[in-house]
Every structure is written in C-alpha cells, then in structure tokens.
Structure 1
Amino acid sequence: MTSTPAAAGPFKITVQPSGRAFEANAHETILAAGIRQGVGLPYGCKDGACGSCKCRMLEGRVEHGPHQSKALSAEEAAAGLILTCCGVPQSDVVLESRQVTDESGYPIKRMPARVSSLARLSHDVMLVRLQLPANDAMRFHAGQYIEFILRDGARRSYSMANAPHTAAGQPGAVPPVGPGVELHIRHMPGGKFTDHVFGAMKEKEILRIEGPYGSFFLREDSDKPIVLLASGTGFAPIKAVIEHMQFKSITRPAVLYWGGRRPADLYMDDWLRAKQAEMPNLAYVPVVSNALPEDGWTGRTGFVHRAVLEDLPDLSGHQVYACGAPIVVDSARADYTREAGLPPEEFYADAFTTEADKAQP
C-alpha cells in the first residue's frame, strides 16, 4: 500500500473573529499570502526573529521554516501558537488574530522615491524625507513602514514618521509636487544601507521603495487610555500616531514613555514638548538609562518599559503601543501581561529587528 501524498494547496486561511479569509498557494507562508491579498496580519521582521506575527491556530496544520526560539518556543508551538511569517499551511487553517480588522489592508505598491532632504537629528540619527510620485499615491496608516529595495535585492525596513494627512502632495502645482514621507534612520556602522545614508547619499537621489507594511497603527474603535512606548528611533512611528491623533481630534488619554541611553538620544524632545502643550490629553515621560555626569540629567532613569509599571501598575484597562529594540518590546509584552494585567490582544508592537538580530542563531 502506498501512502497518499500531502495536498499541495491552495489552502483556505480563515482569521477569527473578523472572518477574513484568503488562500495560500503551495509552499507559500500564511503571512505572504495574507499580504498578497490585502489581509493585515500582524508582523514585524518577516524572518522568524521577533515573534510579532505569533498567533493561535484553532484548526489545521502548518510546517515552520527556520526561526528563532525567542520568537516561538517549543512550549508555545505545543500550545498551538504559530508564526505566520514562516508557517506554511499543510491543510486549511483557522487562526485567531484579533488585530485583523476590515480596515487594515491598504494595497502594497512598489514605486520610485526621490530624496528631497537630509537632516541630522543627532550624531547617529538622520531625518530622510522622500518625495513619492504625484500620480500614484500610497495610502497608509500612521505607524506603518516601507521597505527600500536595494540594487542586490536586499531590503531594509523603516517606519514612516509622519501621519498620512501630512504626506499629501500638490498635484496641481507646476511641476507637480508628489506626496512625501519622513524617515528616522539610525546609523549602524558597517551597515550596507545606513553607511550609504550617512556617507554618499545626496538630495535628488532615486531609490526604490515598497509599502505600506505592518499592522502597527492606532485602533480607533476603542476608548481605552493609551500607553505609547518607544526606545531610540522606535519614536518614528509613535510620532506619526501622535500627529494622527491630533489631526483626528482623538482625545483619549495618552502617555508616551521614550527611552534612550543618553539625553541626546531623545532627538525630538523639543518637538514633543511643543506637541504636549498643544494636546491636553498627551503626557510625555522621557527616560534615560546611561546618563553621564556631564549630561546633567535630572529626569527618570532606568529601563523605559519598567518606568511604565512604576507609574501604572494596573494596565488591565489600557492599550499599549510599543516600538523599538526587540529586547524592549519583548520585555514590555511579557511584563505588562504578567505583572500588570494587560490583555495580550491590547499590546500592539513593532520591533525594530536589525540584520544582525536576524542573523543570530
């Protein structure tokens, strides 16, 4: 007797409780299939390194490609959790992902982008403004990101630091002024792309981008108070969310905790203090972990995610939006749900996973 080979697909993927459904082709990951069909599953690195795409499988079978145990442990896998970024369905699958909503999928576009300006925000952070084509607008949620497609096909991901309403161009102008996006790019010495940004990049340079990507954006169907948590350039998508809240007159209480090693790492502190004066619902708590005597720092110190717990030991009625280094995001997710009663589905995150992070075993 010969065994029947496994079906090759396509397989139907259903996401509860939204009821969104799509098909995954043979050997296609669930995440790739969802993105292709405009279903906004949560994700971060797309490489099995960060765990942002982790969700519960209610029915079906998947096979995982290579991934890090910190993203999905053996115990989590045994409990029915999967990574959609490297999980390939072997049957029809039903998932639970409360972050998937009917509004979350804007079409992903590939387009040229022109560098319109470069400005240093700190010794190692560059503000890069890109002008996009005037005749092919990219719609996005505040907090999403784009990917640069480099000449060798490699990709680099950066969050857009401005809200959609600020990105509008002037199509009637002569010549037409295309829409623009703002990026905050940290220099990683030896990094193929960031060495170029901080070295040879010039205004008017043409780059290729693709987007929008990511499931990090404000859920506007809730009235819960908001905790915004950022480390380093994780502030970029948070800035976009703050601009969006002000533009939409969203008055839910919101508090931003922004952490850096030294005060200079809080590179838009003045902007935030001005915004705080304009938005009575917004509070701002800067936190520095490694201040030196010459910094003259008299504010909060320590780990930024722990500062939240010092002020808000009960997060059971909050939403948390966290961006930055994976260690900060992962620690916040674990501590807030375990110690402060935050419902896991109310933790929204975008971990800034570098190429070095992805290369770890």
Structure 2
Amino acid sequence: MSYTIKLLPSGHVFQAKGSQTIVEAAIDEGIHLPYGCRNGACGACKGKVVEGKVHLEDYQSSVISEDEIKNGMTLFCRAIALENLTIEIKELAINNNIRPKIFPVRVESLEALTHDVMLMKLKLPSTDKLQFVAGQYLEFLLKDGKRRAFSIASPSHESSLLEIHLRLIPGGEFTEYVFKEMKEKSILRVEGPFGNFYLREHSEKTIIFVAGGTGFAPIKGMIEESIQKGMQRPIKLYRGARVLEDLYMDSLCKKWANEFSHIEYIPVLSESLEEDAWHGRNGLVHEAVLKDFVNFNDYQLYCCGAPQMVEVAHKAFIKAGLPEDEFYSDAFTFAAPVKK
C-alpha cells in the first residue's frame, strides 16, 4: 500500500510506501526535504502534519517535545504515513537530481591519524562513478541489516577514491571492527549519497565553518571543492578539539591558510595538556566564534560535530543574531554500544 503526500508550500506531490518514512519516500522520488541524521536525533527534518496521521517511532525526545507532537509537528525521518498526508516543510533548492544508489567498494587503505581516528579510502568499481556534493555522507550496509553513516571527506571531483574519517566509539560494533580487524582490500557495500550538508554556492557571504572532532570530514570536502572551483569567498575555519593530538590533519589546514589569502584557520583546544605547549585559543569552539564576531548578518555558518555540540552552537548563534536560514548543520549520531 502507498499513500499520497502533498507538500506545502511547494504543492509538490509524491508517493510513500507503507513501510517507508516520509524522508525515505522523498529521497526515492527526487524530492529534496531537509534532513541530517535520519535517526530522529538532529531535528533537521522537523515539520508539520497539516492533514492525515503518521506513526512516529525511535526518536530522541530532546529533539521534539510532546507539546510539539500534540500540535501536529513531527520528525519526517522517523514518521511513517498511516493515510494520505498534507505536510508543511520547506523544500531545499538543490540544482541536481542525484539519487542514492547501492554499490560495492574496496578498502584501498586504512591509516590511523590518531589513537581514535582512522582514515579509510574506498575504491569504487572502475565502471562506476559516484555523483555527490561535497559534505554529503554514505551509509555502510552491514550483514545484519544495520547501517552506519559517515561523511565523505573528499571533494566531488575525486569521486573514484572516497575518503572517510572514522572515530573509534568504545563498544561501537562497526568502528571497533574497523580499528581491530578490518583488512585492506576488504569489500563492503555502501549506499549514498545522503544529506543536505553542502556549500550554498549562490551566496557571496563570508563562510564560517565550525568543526568538532571528525566533524571536520565533510568540511574538508567542502573547502577542497571550493578551492578546485576557484571560489574566493572568505572562509573562517574554526576547529575544536580536546587536546593537540585530536587536531588531525592540522598541517593541511595550515597549508590552506598559507596558500590562500581568503582562508583563515583558527584551532581551539578545550583541555590542552602541558606537553602540548599550546599557545593558541582555548575553550569551546563555538564560544571562540562568538568572541570574534559582533554581528552575524553577513555570514553563513556551517557546523558539524556531535549532536550536543551542534545543538548548543545553534542556539547560541541564533541568539547572537545569525539568521536562522544561514545556519547549516550536520550532527553525528552514534549507534548504541554493544553490550558485553
């Protein structure tokens, strides 16, 4: 059984199978709804059910309140239609028709960047080429039917060899396998691309990137893509980490800043060690940004990291005057650790 979904304010109509979430159905039909994690954890897909009923399952209560649900709001990445729907959510103006697909990849190389960050390079089949926009992510399809999502750290012009940054999650089944058991030349299955975290190239505003941990991965892809395209918009790259070792690929960021006058790099450590001999910025990365800017009217801000970091940053920047529609984010969510 399938249901008809009507979108407001665009008026576009698409079909959703009874087993699909609204976001999954939209992706299948080439409709660009906002979404991020697809796990009910980031709130990017929040919108209103104007007519009809949905079933909302497996979401984080911190993202949507009971009062919001009673007033017709829902998370379309976790909402399944129970009948024909009219929903209200702003579509994204994306000028491509890229749809996700499933394909095999070979693990070309594995390189430990720090004690808990692995650089994985994935080789696509010679007959295949992945179309994606820098900043999007892939989902690894595991044998038990589960999925694990990781951002693509490559620019789109390097589509035959994809770069992924994986952080070791203690008790995390997939990342522990990657760090402890996975061998180079292993064959995996992935699906993608997914996500709406990409550079809005139509704007001339100064770009502020705020990256926490491996939230640097999609931002790296966006910066490299902007360089390849010859873009000259000013870029302020703020990277947050706990200690100096966690600033992996720090030399690459310094190289960008040295070679390109429109790129500025500001690393920030929250718990620097004595042996770090750190003379740079200290504290939380989003607070460093707030200290550096009085007015955010002429800026676009792209933020990626752990959900709590992104949520706190979003509230702080909007309160400081950043226009709501100029905050773009990707929140990394993690599967529950395996119980020993």
TM over 0.5: yes
Does the CA contact (< 8 Å) of 1:40 and 1:104 recur in 2?
no
In the other structure, the counterpart of 2:316 is 335
Is residue 264 of structure 1 aligned with residue 245 of structure 2? yes
- Where do 1:87-106 residues align within 5 Å? 87-89=79-81, 90-97=83-90, 100-103=92-95, 105-106=97-98
Partner Cα distance (1:254, 1:22) in 2:
38
User: Quick one: which of 292, 295, 301 aligns to 2:273?
Assistant: 292
Does the CA contact (< 8 Å) of 2:105 and 2:187 recur in 1?
yes
**How many Å apart are 1:62 and its aligned residue?**
4.1
2:59 is matched by which residue type in structure 1? H
Does the CA contact (< 8 Å) of 1:30 and 1:88 recur in 2?
yes
2:51 is matched by which residue type in structure 1? G
In the other structure, the counterpart of 2:43 is 51
**How many Å apart are 1:142 and its aligned residue?**
0.1
2:152 is matched by which residue type in structure 1? M
Does the CA contact (< 8 Å) of 2:53 and 2:85 recur in 1?
no
**How many Å apart are 1:9 and its aligned residue?**
5.0
Partner Cα distance (1:256, 1:247) in 2:
17
| TM-score between both structures, scaled by the size of structure 2 | 0.93
Is residue 14 of structure 1 aligned with residue 18 of structure 2? no
Does the CA contact (< 8 Å) of 1:62 and 1:87 recur in 2?
no
**How many Å apart are 1:40 and its aligned residue?**
2.7
Is residue 196 of structure 1 aligned with residue 196 of structure 2? no
Structure 2 vs 1, CA of residues 341 and 74 (structure 1 numbering), >3 Å: closer, same or farther?
farther
In the other structure, the counterpart of 2:122 is 130
In the other structure, the counterpart of 1:314 is 295
2:90 is matched by which residue type in structure 1? S
Partner Cα distance (2:306, 2:164) in 1:
17
**How many Å apart are 1:347 and its aligned residue?**
1.3
User: Quick one: which of 337, 345, 348 aligns to 2:328?
Assistant: 348
Partner Cα distance (2:323, 2:49) in 1:
19
Query: SS of the counterpart of 2:291?
Result: helix
Gaps of 5+ in 1: 1-7, 168-178
Structure 2 vs 1, CA of residues 20 and 315 (structure 1 numbering), >3 Å: closer, same or farther?
farther
The runs of at least 4 consecutive aligned structure 1 residues that moved more than 3 Å come to 75-81
Q: Which deviates more, 259-268 or 39-48?
A: 39-48
RMSD (CA atoms): 2.0
Structure 2 vs 1, CA of residues 27 and 130 (structure 1 numbering), >3 Å: closer, same or farther?
closer
- Where do 1:77-226 residues align within 5 Å? 77=69, 81-89=73-81, 90-97=83-90, 100-103=92-95, 105-167=97-159, 179-226=160-207
2:35 is matched by which residue type in structure 1? Y
1:142-169 per-residue CA deviation (whole Å, 9 max, x = no partner) reads 00010111111111111010101122xx
Question: In percent, how many aligned pairs have the same letter?
Answer: 43
Q: Which deviates more, 134-143 or 74-83?
A: 74-83
User: Quick one: which of 45, 49, 65 aligns to 2:57?
Assistant: 65
1:60 is matched by which residue type in structure 2? E
Count of aligned pairs? 336
Does the CA contact (< 8 Å) of 2:237 and 2:265 recur in 1?
yes
In the other structure, the counterpart of 2:66 is 74
1:284-315 per-residue CA deviation (whole Å, 9 max, x = no partner) reads 11010011212111111111111111111322
Partner Cα distance (2:87, 2:268) in 1:
41
Partner Cα distance (2:193, 2:227) in 1:
22
Partner Cα distance (1:102, 1:201) in 2:
36
Q: Which deviates more, 114-123 or 23-32?
A: 23-32
Query: SS of the counterpart of 1:272?
Result: helix
Q: Which deviates more, 233-242 or 190-199?
A: 190-199
Is residue 244 of structure 1 aligned with residue 225 of structure 2? yes
**How many Å apart are 1:58 and its aligned residue?**
7.3
Does the CA contact (< 8 Å) of 1:44 and 1:351 recur in 2?
yes
Query: SS of the counterpart of 1:207?
Result: strand
**How many Å apart are 1:16 and its aligned residue?**
3.6
| TM-score between both structures, scaled by the size of structure 1 | 0.87
**How many Å apart are 1:80 and its aligned residue?**
5.0
Partner Cα distance (1:80, 1:255) in 2:
39
Does the CA contact (< 8 Å) of 2:209 and 2:219 recur in 1?
yes
Does the CA contact (< 8 Å) of 1:40 and 1:105 recur in 2?
no
**How many Å apart are 1:216 and its aligned residue?**
0.6
Partner Cα distance (1:130, 1:38) in 2:
26
Query: SS of the counterpart of 1:121?
Result: strand
Structure 2 vs 1, CA of residues 104 and 88 (structure 1 numbering), >3 Å: closer, same or farther?
farther
1:11 is matched by which residue type in structure 2? T
1:231-263 per-residue CA deviation (whole Å, 9 max, x = no partner) reads 000000000000011111121111111100101
Query: SS of the counterpart of 1:273?
Result: helix
Structure 2 vs 1, CA of residues 218 and 22 (structure 1 numbering), >3 Å: closer, same or farther?
same
Partner Cα distance (1:248, 1:347) in 2:
23
